[in-house]
């Protein structure tokens, strides 16, 4: 019988496909030519051709965040691989399942500073959950399975596989590949704990039953664990107000009576006040980072804390807690909910409702210029929580969190941990690829948009109906705000009066671009543009000196919050 052979590059694609991967974002180059050659007639995977590797990484990330699946990106060795680094770091900070696959120079050239050689495995050690340099084609099927498994289980995160060119070209018998592919993965040191310790759960239940002023803080872990229903049940059964982190937006409907919106540096007054008064905080899949708990030991100072997270290393990393529970939120919350009988916390909930009423998100409208907040407020009346919204990083990102409602998980895509400018547009592209039926809106600033707007080409090329809402305030607004508030308005390198003509940019990429400057233009046109079937760039020229308020200055607690009523 004739022997059939399979190449390393084909093993890569075939294995990924068997693991459920059907979409890849990437950029070719010398060290991945064999992989791209294999892609040429590989029908089971669609490849989206990015225009910069950073774009490819954020696209895969946005795809992963919007679909809950593993995002995959390809890049060549050397500069191609290092261009992925920001994207991998972004995914790492937000625990996004991402597989980065890089070509590497031939094994015989490794360590010789060959053309486009870089030690990408060494470079990405601190920003990957696991990474691999493949040394033998026979390891490849197992490594791909392992990497994929590691990326999406436990606390999800990015993995990287560096694949030398000779291994892409090497061949083994098809029968051997089949055998290797069925071999078990070897992850002895990796046993994520999903269950939660029964004793700890019992203690948590006791505390929840006794609490008089309980507060839930929901983080991204709720969304990753698909525990939104369990969260809602807990909140409703025990009548507990819920605040979310930036990445927790969408885990609990903003419109719910018990929702206090986002907490933290630019959180709502109600949410931040609640942290000051609560006697019990149930912290779910969040990590007390410095934008939430600027002063960790004084954060929620009157409360006992139950902290539930799948990652044991998060327990007491930033904040000491009374009851840590390591486990998957869905299961742990189910176990907790089972033992609870409905109760009311009328006084406490009324108090939080009072804060919500007294301190709504407000801002001062200008008579001449559009305010960035009003653009988003208007967008919210059009969208009403029924869209996937990605953001870039800066003031507009915080205003999105403050002024848009989120009702469903996986609909708020934002670089929270890393704060990566340039994330918004490619993330929206990835999201639209993964969820073609949904309305996807990228809200970006005039600064960050310029960092990755070459990716607009994909919108044209793949006919993606992404809407880009550009809030052009002619400033690096968030940095300007800090210079305004804390440095006597010494505006140093934040002025963007000299910006490109964004209409021409849009036009150059073949995308309809509209500029809105006045309130009446906004009211007349925004809805039609957002609801259009085509891609559109909507540039809103907005007031430059608006500040994001309220604000808890860095390193402080909620009692130092400023701008409670939208002015200082």
Partner 1 sequence: MDQYEILIIAKNKDGIIGRILSLFNKRGYFVRKMTAGATNRAGYARLTLTVEGDELTLEQIQKQVYKIIDVVKVKIFPSKGVIRREMMLIKVKASNETRTQIIQIADIYRGSVLDVSSSSLTILLTGDEKKLDGFVEMMKSYEILEIAKTGILAMSRGEKM
Catalytic sites, residue numbers: 53, 115-116, 165, 478
Q: Containing H/E element for 73?
A: strand 71-75
Residue 363 · residue 373 · CB < 8 Å: yes
Which residue's CB is nearer to partner 1, number 121 or number 361?
121
Q: Using the rule CB under 5 A, is 446 a contact of Mg ion?
A: yes
- Judged by beta carbon distances under 5 to 8 A according to partner kind, the member of Mg ion, partner 1, ligand TPP, none in contact with residue 92 is none
Question: To the nearest whole angstrom, how small is the minimum distance from the Cβ of residue 472 to Mg ion?
Answer: 7
> 292-331: which residues touch partner 1 (CB under 8 A)?
311-313, 315-317
Which residue's CB is nearer to partner 1, number 131 or number 245?
131
Which residue's CB is nearer to ligand TPP, number 272 or number 395?
395
Residue 565 · residue 359 · CB < 8 Å: yes
Question: To the nearest whole angstrom, how small is the minimum distance from the Cβ of residue 462 to ligand TPP?
Answer: 25
Residues 6+ apart with CB under 8 A from 89: 127, 418, 420
Residue 103 · residue 31 · CB < 8 Å: yes
Question: To the nearest whole angstrom, how small is the minimum distance from the Cβ of residue 197 to partner 1?
Answer: 15
Which residue's CB is nearer to Mg ion, number 353 or number 479?
479
Q: Using the rule CB under 5 A, is 473 a contact of Mg ion?
A: yes
Residue 51 · residue 25 · CB < 8 Å: no
Taking the CA atoms of 359, 360, 366 and 369 in sequence, report the sign of the dihedral they define: positive
Q: Using the rule CB under 5 A, is 422 a contact of Mg ion?
A: no
- Judged by beta carbon distances under 5 to 8 A according to partner kind, the member of partner 1, ligand TPP, Mg ion, none in contact with residue 482 is none
* Structure tokens, 367: 């008579």
Integer Cα distance of 180 and 293 in angstroms: 48
Residue 521 has φ and ψ, to the nearest 5°, of: -60, -40
25: burial class by Cβ within 10 Å (0-12, 13-18, 19+)? buried
Query: Mapping DSSP to helix (H, G, I), strand (E, B) and coil, where does residue 302 land?
Result: coil
Integer Cα distance of 455 and 475 in angstroms: 22
Contact with partner 1 (CB under 8 A) among 41, 112, 113, 126: 126
Question: To the nearest whole angstrom, how small is the minimum distance from the Cβ of residue 238 to Mg ion?
Answer: 42
Part in contact with partner 1 (CB under 8 A); list of ranges 24-32, 47-55, 119-127, 366-374: 119-127
Which residue's CB is nearer to partner 1, number 145 or number 213?
145
Place of tokens 């030519």: 33
Question: To the nearest whole angstrom, how small is the minimum distance from the Cβ of residue 129 to partner 1?
Answer: 7
- Judged by beta carbon distances under 5 to 8 A according to partner kind, the member of ligand TPP, partner 1, Mg ion, none in contact with residue 393 is ligand TPP
Total binding residues toward partner 1, as defined by CB under 8 A: 20
Residue 421 has φ and ψ, to the nearest 5°, of: -65, 145
> 138-167: which residues touch partner 1 (CB under 8 A)?
150
- Judged by beta carbon distances under 5 to 8 A according to partner kind, the member of Mg ion, ligand TPP, partner 1, none in contact with residue 130 is partner 1
Which residue's CB is nearer to partner 1, number 131 or number 243?
131
Question: To the nearest whole angstrom, how small is the minimum distance from the Cβ of residue 391 to Mg ion?
Answer: 12
Q: Using the rule CB under 5 A, is 445 a contact of Mg ion?
A: yes
Which residue's CB is nearer to Mg ion, number 289 or number 446?
446
Rounded to 10 deg, the angle between the 395-403 and 477-486 helix axes is 100
Part in contact with Mg ion (CB under 5 A); list of ranges 97-105, 327-335, 421-429, 471-479: 471-479
* Structure tokens, 366: 């200008």
Q: Using the rule CB under 8 A, is 121 a contact of partner 1?
A: yes
Which residue's CB is nearer to ligand TPP, number 248 or number 445?
445
Q: Using the rule CB under 5 A, is 477 a contact of Mg ion?
A: yes
Taking the CA atoms of 269, 273, 275 and 276 in sequence, report the sign of the dihedral they define: positive
Integer Cα distance of 538 and 449 in angstroms: 12
* Structure tokens, 338: 């089972």
Question: To the nearest whole angstrom, how small is the minimum distance from the Cβ of residue 470 to Mg ion?
Answer: 9
Beta-strand runs (E) in 265-413 = 280-284, 304-309, 323-326, 388-391, 412-413
Place of tokens 């009851």: 323
Question: To the nearest whole angstrom, how small is the minimum distance from the Cβ of residue 466 to ligand TPP?
Answer: 18
Which residue's CB is nearer to partner 1, number 317 or number 408?
317
CA angle, residues 254, 255, 261, in degrees to nearest 5? 30
Alpha helices in 215-328 (DSSP H): 220-224, 228-238, 269-277
Q: Which residues pair with 7 in a beta bridge?
A: 171
- Judged by beta carbon distances under 5 to 8 A according to partner kind, the member of partner 1, ligand TPP, Mg ion, none in contact with residue 214 is none
- Judged by beta carbon distances under 5 to 8 A according to partner kind, the member of partner 1, ligand TPP, Mg ion, none in contact with residue 150 is partner 1
Q: Using the rule CB under 8 A, is 184 a contact of partner 1?
A: no
Integer Cα distance of 279 and 273 in angstroms: 12
Contact with partner 1 (CB under 8 A) among 122, 354, 360, 500: 122
The residues that touch ligand TPP, with contacts defined as CB under 6 A, are: 392-396, 419-421, 445-448, 471, 473, 475-479
CA angle, residues 320, 323, 324, in degrees to nearest 5? 75
Burial 165-182 (b: 16+ CB within 10 A, else e): bbbbebbbeeebbeebbe
> 187-206: which residues touch partner 1 (CB under 8 A)?
187-190
For the chain, give the number of residues: 568
Q: Using the rule CB under 8 A, is 131 a contact of partner 1?
A: yes
Integer Cα distance of 243 and 402 in angstroms: 12
Binding residues for partner 1, rule: CB under 8 A, are 121-122, 125-126, 129-131, 133, 135, 150, 187-190, 311-313, 315-317
- Residues in contact with Mg ion by CB under 5 A are 445-447, 473, 475, 477
């Amino acid at each position: 019988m004739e022997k059939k052979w399979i190449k390393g590059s084909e093993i890569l694609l075939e294995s990924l496909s068997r693991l459920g991967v059907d979409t890849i974002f990437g950029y070719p180059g010398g060290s991945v030519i064999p992989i791209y050659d294999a892609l040429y007639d590989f029908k089971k995977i669609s490849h989206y051709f990015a225009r910069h590797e950073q774009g490819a990484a954020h696209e895969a990330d946005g795809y992963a965040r919007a679909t809950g699946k593993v995002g995959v990106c390809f890049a060549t060795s050397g500069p191609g691989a290092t261009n992925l680094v920001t994207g991998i770091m972004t995914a790492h900070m937000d625990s996004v399942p991402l597989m980065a696959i890089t070509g590497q120079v031939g094994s015989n050239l490794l360590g010789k500073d060959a053309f486009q050689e870089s030690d990408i495995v060494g470079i990405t050690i601190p920003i990957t959950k696991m990474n691999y340099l493949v040394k033998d084609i026979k390891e490849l099927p197992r490594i791909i399975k392992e990497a994929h498994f590691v990326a999406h289980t436990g606390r999800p995160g990015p993995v990287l596989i560096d694949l030398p060119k000779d291994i892409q070209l090497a061949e083994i018998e098809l029968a051997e590949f089949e055998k290797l592919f069925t071999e078990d993965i070897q992850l002895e040191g990796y046993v994520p704990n999903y269950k939660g310790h029964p004793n700890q759960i019992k203690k948590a239940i006791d505390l929840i039953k006794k609490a008089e002023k309980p507060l839930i803080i929901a983080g991204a872990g709720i969304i990753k664990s698909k525990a939104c229903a369990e969260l809602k049940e807990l909140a409703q059964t025990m009548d507990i107000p819920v605040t979310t982190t930036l990445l927790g937006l969408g885990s609990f409907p903003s419109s719910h009576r018990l929702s206090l919106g986002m907490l933290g540096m630019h959180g709502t007054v109600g949410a931040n006040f609640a942290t000051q008064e609560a006697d019990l905080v149930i912290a779910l899949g969040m990590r007390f980072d410095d934008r939430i708990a600027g002063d960790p030991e004084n954060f929620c100072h009157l409360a006992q804390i139950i902290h539930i997270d799948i990652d044991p290393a998060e327990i007491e990393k930033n904040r000491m807690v009374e009851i840590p529970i390591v486990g998957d939120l869905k299961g742990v919350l189910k176990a907790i909910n089972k033992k609870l009988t409905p109760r009311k916390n009328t006084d406490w909930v009324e108090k939080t409702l009072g804060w919500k009423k007294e301190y709504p998100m407000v801002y001062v409208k200008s008579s001449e210029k559009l305010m960035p907040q009003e653009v988003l407020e208007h967008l919210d009346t059009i969208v009403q929580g029924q869209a996937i919204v990605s953001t870039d990083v800066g003031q507009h990102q915080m205003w999105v969190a403050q002024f848009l409602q989120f009702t469903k998980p996986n609909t708020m895509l934002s670089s929270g941990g890393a704060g990566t400018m340039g994330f918004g547009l490619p993330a929206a592209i990835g999201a639209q690829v993964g969820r073609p039926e949904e309305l996807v809106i990228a809200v970006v600033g005039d600064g960050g948009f310029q960092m990755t707007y070459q990716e607009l080409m994909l919108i044209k090329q793949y006919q993606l109906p992404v809407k880009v809402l550009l809030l052009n305030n002619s400033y690096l607004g968030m940095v300007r705000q800090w210079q305004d508030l804390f440095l006597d308005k010494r505006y140093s390198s934040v002025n963007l009066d000299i910006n490109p003509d964004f209409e021409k940019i849009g036009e150059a990429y073949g995308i309809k671009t509209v500029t809105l400057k006045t309130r009446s233009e906004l009211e007349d046109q925004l809805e039609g543009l957002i609801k259009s079937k085509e891609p559109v760039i909507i540039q809103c020229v907005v007031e430059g000196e608006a500040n994001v308020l309220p604000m808890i200055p860095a390193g402080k607690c909620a009692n130092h919050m400023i701008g409670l009523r939208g002015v200082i």
